[in-house]
Amino acid sequence: MAENCKDSCGNIAFEGLSSTYKRILWVVVTINFAMFLVESVAGFLADSTALKADALDFLGDAATYAATLLVIGKPLKIRAMVALLKGLSLGAMAIFVLGFTLYRIFVAGEPEPFTMGAIGFMALTANTVSVLLLMKYRDGDSNVRSVWLCSRNDAIGNIAVMIAGAGVFATGTIWPDISVAFVIAGLFMHSSIKITLQAISEYRKGDE
């Protein structure tokens, strides 16, 4: 209860001022950028919208974590502005994924389910490692919070991609892949709203 009170009682939340946290972020940035490259190639080879959406998510996360590293220790207003940009960029990615998914509905080819399943499992492993590393730091300011939300949502998204691969194999249609792409877009938008609202609140506190 005391840990939660740090954010709700007007005290300063964890700002990332820890050498251990910074090292963890560097590891997580490397993991996410590597998986962006892997899933980008696999998404085009498998012709999977879900994999392409998840690859974009990995890229966004790598940028999010790198931005968090850059503003650790900076004044609250600067950290809040960066977090706000991250929140808005996640919303933009959600809209992009939704648009691309709608395009695929009308220009559809069946994705390759085995590649989707294999890469989905690899991505889930990568994100599970990230989640475990960041578990201790899931509460904090909007920048720290954005890192946790992205990692947690990614693990959920990876499970969804694996389910999509199984669905495509079982049904012989594109619809499981399309459905999961919508789910991933929804995760983007959900995180975007939470990060944006917290960043706006912190920006206002920076004026006090």
Q: Are 67 and 79 in contact (CB under 8 A)?
A: no
CATH pick for 17-205 out of 1.10.10, 1.20.1690, 1.20.1510, 2.60.40: 1.20.1510
Distance CA 135, CA 3 (A): 14
pTM: 0.68
Residue range 89-141, pLDDT digits in tens:
888 888 887 887 777 766 656 667 777 778 878 888 988 898 888 888 877 78
| DSSP code string of 127-181 | HHHHHHHHGGG-SSSHHHHHHHHHHHHHHHHHHHHHHHHHHHHHH-SSHHHHHHH
Domain boundaries, the chain: 17-205
Listed residue (131, 133, 116) closest to 169, CA to CA: 116
